[in-house]
Amino acid sequence: MPRIDIATAPVSLGSDYPAPFDRDFVERRRIRLGDAAGLTQFGVNLTTLPPGGISSLRHWHEVEEEMVLVLEGRLTLVEDGGEVELVPGESAGFPAASGEGHHFLNRGPAPAVYLEIGTRPAADRC
C-alpha cells in the first residue's frame, strides 16, 4: 500500500475563481492527497479553512458527486433549504444533479480541517 507523505503532497492555495470572486478564498489551503496517490477517478483533498473562510461559491454539479468529512473545528453547511453546523466526525454528501446549491462557512474562532472527496467525471457543469 503506497504511503502518502502529506509534507510532500501538492498544495493548492486560494482558488481558481477569476477576480474579484477569488478574494474570499485567499487563505483556503488544500493538500491534494488524491493527486499525491495518483488517483484519477476521484479526488481527495485535506482542506483547511481559516476563521471567516468560505469553501467555495455556492454550487452543485450535474455529474460530479461530493462528500465532506469534518476533522477539526466547525463548518456551517449552507444549502437552499437552510444552514446546519457540522462538527468533527460529521459529514455531508452531495449526489450529482441534485440541484441543491451548497458551500461551507467557517464561523468558528479556529481553523476548520476537513476531507473533500469527489468523483472526477470527464465533463461536468456547476
Domain ranges of the chain: 6-119
The reported pTM is: 0.89
Closest residue by Cα to residue 44 from 66, 29, 62, 27: 66
For 93-105, the pLDDT digits (tens) are 988 888 888 999 9
Per residue in 31-73, pLDDT (tens digit) is 999 999 999 999 999 999 999 999 987 777 787 889 999 999 9
Q: Give the model's pLDDT for residue 124.
A: 62
- DSSP H helices, the chain, are 33-36
CATH class, 6-119 region: mainly beta
- Grid coordinates of 31: 493538500
